[in-house]
Amino acid sequence: MSKPKSLSFRIDYNFKTRVINTKATLFAVSAPSPNKVVTINAIWDTGATDSVITPDVSKYLQLFAIDTVSIQGVNSEGIAPISIVHIGLPNNVLITSKRVSIARIGGGADMLIGMDIISLGDMIICNGDNKTSFSFVMPSFPDKPDWIEKSNQINSEQHTY
């Protein structure tokens, strides 16, 4: 059996950013035919348990609720509808039949990519030289970057007299 293809992307900012955003493509699943497609602005949010889209995106895609969930977030609280979409990430990975909550987001984003998606791969954020680099790969690699090992190596090379 062959290993799954590794798909990754990297976004480099010429400054240190506090918001990691990318494009994402949503394909309507829980909607009447013909299913619509839209490319939107998505914020990667490790503080979000699940992924969220805005009511405007849901309306454009003509999604209907298949369930509800109790949510509590920065911009929304209460009961939110859940719909199903396919999500295309910048690394050409298509996440099929993903449940997303529909709620207000803020910050100019149309979607929050939460830990339900982030945990499907490996993510690295680096801020060297006051510039942010964000990379994501799916599926996860078995070996993990080890900052402790790298830090110890650098520290052992620095001699204090």
List, for residues 28-72, the tens digit of each pLDDT value. 987 778 889 999 999 999 999 999 999 999 999 999 999 998 877
The domain that holds 98 is classified in CATH as 2.40.70.10
- Residue 56, in any domain of the structure: yes
Nearest to 150 by CA among 119, 128, 134: 128
Alpha helices by DSSP H, the chain: 55-61, 115-118, 147-157
Q: Which domain holds residue 88?
A: 18-123
- Residue 158, in any domain of the structure: no
- Structure pTM? 0.86
Domain count, the chain: 1
- Residue 111, in any domain of the structure: yes
- Residue 48, in any domain of the structure: yes
Instruction: Take residue 28 and report the two structure tokens written for it.
Output: 């309507």
Q: What is the pLDDT of residues 2-16, one digit of tens each?
A: 777 889 999 999 999
- Residue 75, in any domain of the structure: yes
